A = this chain, B = another copy of it.
């Protein structure tokens, strides 16, 4: 094993068992393979979860945290893109069952903490279910953190799938896979008419398929995305992720205030 690697699966079983302790943090990257418009690869969420978690774990390890990374989950819940060829997905039931298997397996090791670093918004709900189930079933401490990308002002807060932030991040991470020239603006302006109905954070949530908005499955405006903005997005996320891992390392929900 390379001395500095924090890839848990690169250890042998006995080495892993000897290395992990009750304070170790194990990170599972959770991606997706799904349609992201004509300018981004279907692996976008997998690439983001994989790369961002790798950077965060490396930095956190250098900062002295006892943190490790598992191989990513590639195939997750993308039913909202089922209509689009190139989406490869499993249902929420199967995703939960898979996460139960991984939680059960982790509970066989000395580690007690699982952190899901998630690249796909459609996974937030099922991962929310899983956090609680794995906490109860296997007595694990469980956390999740999604790779959040900012919206550009001209996106009216609607740049949630293949928009400026995500496209910029991909232009930073894998410029070879971005067909920026084919990116087009896809902002469902009409949504601004609704005060209560909206995406994450709005009081009224709605079930949507990505072809419900009159576009090609993209939500956002990737046209002005650029790699340097993506580098900032990456840097910001990694910083937040490392801070989060540090918080997780000392997290005690029953602890008194400072």
Beyond A75-B102, A204-B244, A247-B196, whether A190 also contacts B253 by CB under 8 A is yes
Query: Would you list which residues of chain A between 178 and 201 have a CB under 8 Å from chain B?
Result: 179, 182, 188-197, 201
Which residue of chain B has the shortest Cβ distance to A37 in the bound complex? B12
Per-residue CB contact flags for chain A residues 88-105 toward chain B (1 = under 8 Å, else 0) read 111111101110011001
Stoichiometry, as copies per complex, reads 6
Among B82, B94, B188, B203, the residue within 8 A (CB) of A145 is B203
Residues of B within 8 A of A177 (CB): 1-2, 10
Is A234 located at the chain interface by the 8 A CB criterion? no
Which residue of chain B has the shortest Cβ distance to A11 in the bound complex? B41
Bound Cα distance A243, B204 (Å): 11
Is A235 located at the chain interface by the 8 A CB criterion? no
- How many residues of chain A get a CB closer than 8 Å to chain B's CBs? 121
Bound Cα distance A88, B87 (Å): 26
| A191 nearest CB across to chain B (Å) | 7
On whether the beta carbons of B208 and A132 are closer than 8 Å, the reply is: yes
On whether the beta carbons of A87 and B105 are closer than 8 Å, the reply is: yes
Beyond A12-B179, A13-B42, A101-B75, whether A207 also contacts B258 by CB under 8 A is no
On whether the beta carbons of B143 and A207 are closer than 8 Å, the reply is: yes
Bound Cα distance A195, B245 (Å): 11
Per-residue CB contact flags for chain A residues 237-258 toward chain B (1 = under 8 Å, else 0) read 0001001100110011111111
Among B7, B145, B256, the residue within 8 A (CB) of A190 is B256
Given A15-B38, A79-B136, 8 other A-B contacts at CB below 8 A?
A13-B87, A75-B101, A86-B109, A93-B93, A126-B129, A144-B206, A196-B243, A197-B244
A-B contact pairs, 26 of them (CB 8 A): A1-B179, A9-B74, A10-B174, A11-B86, A12-B86, A12-B179, A13-B37, A13-B217, A14-B38, A73-B74, A87-B108, A90-B98, A91-B133, A93-B93, A93-B97, A124-B125, A128-B205, A135-B209, A142-B207, A143-B205, A145-B203, A190-B252, A192-B257, A196-B243, A196-B244, A212-B254
